[in-house]
Amino acid sequence: MTRERARQLAEALVGRMTVEEKAGQLRFDAPAIERLGIPAYNWWNEGLHGLARGGTATSFPQAIGLAAMFDEELMEKVASVISDEARAKYNALSREGDRDIYHGLTLWSPNVNIFRDPRWGRGQETYGEDPTLTARLGRAFVRGLQGKGETLKVAACAKHFAAHSGPEALRHGFDARVSEKDLEETYLPAFRALVDEGVEAVMGAYNRLNGEPCCASSYLMGKLRGKWGFQGHFVSDCWAIRDFHENHGVTAAPTESVQLALKLGCDLNCGCTYQHILRALELGMILEEEVTRSAVRLFTTRFLLGVLDEEGSEYDSLPYGLIECPESLALAHKAALESCVLLKNSGLLPLDTDSCGTIGVMGPNANSRTALIGNYHGTASRYVTVLEGIQDYVGDRCRVLYSQGCALCADRVEPLAQPNDRLAEAIAVAKASDTVILVLGLDETLEGEEGDTGNSYSSGDKEDLFLPQAQRALLDGVLAVGKPTVVILLAGSAIDLASAQEKADAILLGWYPGAGGGRAVAELLFGEASPSGKLPVTFYRNEALADMPAFTDYAMAGRTYRYYRGEPLYPFGYGLSYGDCQVTALSADRTRARVTVVNRGARDTEEVLQLYLRDEESPFAPPNPILCGFQRVFLAAGDEKTLSVPLDEEAFTVVTDGGDRIPGSGKWMLYAGFGGPDPRTEALTGRKACAVPLRITP
């Protein structure tokens, strides 16, 4: 069905409604209108890395882990599984009369905010710190969710528009002051890309942007519906419109908040403030035509989904048996394998069951289900922790000893015990083992959305980049034993692992790898597959925070790989493998690079070829080279391939201080490698990126 046809049907249907009925349809929990045959519909559903909060669903790695795959094709497949399961569940449950929250076809995903500050708890929901990577992965996710059928499989939603990335504790009243340059260069490109992709919905952020609340911003709506031509519907973040009068102070009463939001184009209210629409109408603060306009947009989406038209949707027959089917679980496993990032390997990995002897597994995340799933998660029918994955893999070939080692955040496991009550046990296990695997990190109770799980930290944000004190004591104690040690980090953001980098033999970042992620981690440890994930964010040392702009400062200078001038612990784009892959030749024009790559190692591996571009002369260019292309490639041992990689057109432009995007200088340096062209990557990998100058008339 075309949008024009869906709009015509929506206009005809809305035209038969009373004003009271139209007003009720602008709430996220829209009631039925029985006289018109319209069933109740709850617009609120989540699909960040699997269907969330609505029962059983396939569990994929958290979004930040999906970003680490640098794999658009797999990202689209992941999103397609999520939308298949959403349709299958909707089909089955609506037949039972269940039209509850989290069971609809409007998925409020993906989150394409930029992970600009490593303290932000919700950064785990994003695709990292780079606008190009975020845009390309976000577009792939939207394609997978919405499908290619005559109707939408589900409606995707780009959130949170715009310039939203903490602090969580301040979000309901915070005013993000952002320059036109940073908006155009960093915060808006991914949203524009998703609009170009045809995303059906956009969600406004809680905060204000340069004085205007994001859910009622003339500036943002001018971009969205004006310059970009967005045709879908706009939804507020949940209870964000109530913030207008309760926290932002831009209005004095709920009716004024209704007036501001509705006039500026917020069609759907997640929250309760639009219950005051009829009162605002009575007072003459809004027009019925404005209510009608939003209702038509919302019913256009419902017709595009094929849930109101008599012809239905080609997806109506998707069966409930698709939920957690073997093919989907296999895809989740592949995603987990691709997402893990090998940060250090002195030669200990991959482990050999014939020689690793007794394995000591310890740490608060070693046997934690919570550490597998991140936030915004569904329910899996089976979980495989890292400990269980190792036990299952080695079977009776190796003895596996286990100690929790410490609590995740508290100073003791048992309330009546003394501090560090599991530390001695962990050290005893380390001494009794030939190989030690120490599993540390965070989970959604420590980092995440404000108030989401009663976060132990500052409303879900981190106060620093260190592991909790109890985990640091465990790390130091176990490393002091001196056994060959692998540190595994399960977390959704940058952690200062300087001590482990100095003393451990290997470090593997597993992110939140999904419900079955322990199996993937084990297979990587024992060489069934080679690690191939790359960092979509910079890992800083904690002291870097002192030189970084304040958390409340949205200026990009001094943060992310494009603007950071210090030496990171691990750079953006970094990640090791078990192969020895190198770039041997590079040539390019403005649209494509031709890159020859070879695996000189003895093991097959997947790798991520990355291309970066630096404008050599423009005063408006970022100081460091920026990502302009990437491609995942499989290289068997000894293989050589020549790849043709498309280059991002906007990489050849720069943004002025006034926010105008203009051609670059015409003199660029293009870099190709399996990491970024920075000294830290060179030091960690022992090789430089291949570089060629480009001279192209703007």
Question: What is the set of active-site residues?
Answer: 237
Q: Which two tokens stand for residue 215?
A: 């859910």
Between 72-95 and 326-339, two packed helices, what is the crossing angle to 10 degrees?
Answer: 140
Handedness of CA 515, 102, 214, 152 (dihedral sign): positive
DSSP state of 307: S
> Is 273 within 8 Å of 257 (Cβ atoms)?
yes
DSSP state of 540: -
286 burial level (CB within 10 Å; 0-12, 13-18, 19+): buried
Cis before residue 623, ω within 30 degrees of 0? Answer: no
Rg of the Cα atoms in the chain: 25
> Is 664 within 8 Å of 619 (Cβ atoms)?
no
* Dihedral, 310, 314, 318, 324 alpha carbons, nearest 10: -130
Measured in whole angstroms, how far is the alpha carbon of residue 184 from the centre of its chain? 21
- Contacts of 301 by beta carbon, 8 Å cutoff, 6+ apart: 6, 106, 152, 155, 200, 201, 232, 233
* Pairing mode, strands 208-209 and 233-235: unpaired
CA distance linking residue 676 with residue 648, whole number of Å: 16
Q: Which helix (H) or strand (E) holds 594?
A: strand 592-599
CA distance linking residue 633 with residue 482, whole number of Å: 37
Cα distances (Å, whole numbers) of residue 27 to 286, 331, 680 = 17, 36, 51
